[in-house]
Amino acid sequence: MAGAAILEIFVTKADGTKQVFSREKVEKTCLRMGADSRVAHVIAEKIERRLYDGISTDQILRMIFKFMSEYKPSISHLFDLRKGISLMDPKPEFEMFVRILLTQNGFEVSPNLILAGKCGEHEADAIAKKNGKTFFVEAKHHISYHTLTGLDESRIARAILEDVTEYNLMDKTDLKIDGAIIVTNTRYSEHAKRYGECRNILQIGWDIPLENNLRSMIEKNKLYPLSCLRSLKYENRIKLVNSGVVIMKQLFEEEISKLARRAMIPQETLRDIIEKAKFSMDELWYS
Write out the residue range of the structural domain in which residue 60 sits.
Answer: 2-71
Asked whether the predicted pLDDT for residue 15 surpasses 90, the reply is: no
Find the angle CA(85)-CA(86)-CA(89) to the nearest 5 degrees.
90
Q: Examine the fold and report which residue of 37, 71, 105 is the final residue of a domain before the chain moves on.
A: 71
* Long-range pairs for 213-220: beta carbons < 8 A, 24 or more residues apart: 214/85, 214/101, 214/183, 214/184, 214/185, 215/81, 215/286, 217/101, 217/104, 217/105, 218/81, 218/101, 219/286
For the stretch 45-76, pLDDT in tens is 999 999 999 998 878 988 888 888 888 776 66
The CATH number linked to 108 is 3.40.1350.10
Is 237 domain-assigned?
A: no
96 plus 65 within the same structural domain: no
For the stretch 153-177, pLDDT in tens is 999 999 999 999 999 988 887 889 9
Is 126 domain-assigned?
A: yes
Our count of domains for the chain comes to 2
* pLDDT mean over 206-210: 92
Distances from the Cα of 129 to the Cα of 84, 114, 182, 201, 211, angstroms? 28, 16, 14, 15, 19
Is 275 domain-assigned?
A: no
Instruction: List CB contacts of 53: < 8 A, sequence separation 6 or more.
Output: 8, 9, 10
Secondary structure in 3-state letters for 134-182: EEEEEEECCCCCCCCECHHHHHHHHHHHHHHHHHHHCCCCCCCCCEEEE
108 plus 207 within the same structural domain: yes
Is 250 domain-assigned?
A: no
* pLDDT mean over 119-139: 96
Asked whether the predicted pLDDT for residue 30 surpasses 90, the reply is: no
Nearest CA-CA partner of 241 in 135, 25, 94? 94
103 plus 176 within the same structural domain: yes
Asked whether the predicted pLDDT for residue 269 surpasses 70, the reply is: yes
Is 22 domain-assigned?
A: yes
Please state the pTM of the whole predicted model: 0.76
Report residue 285's pLDDT band, with 50, 70 and 90 as the boundaries: very low
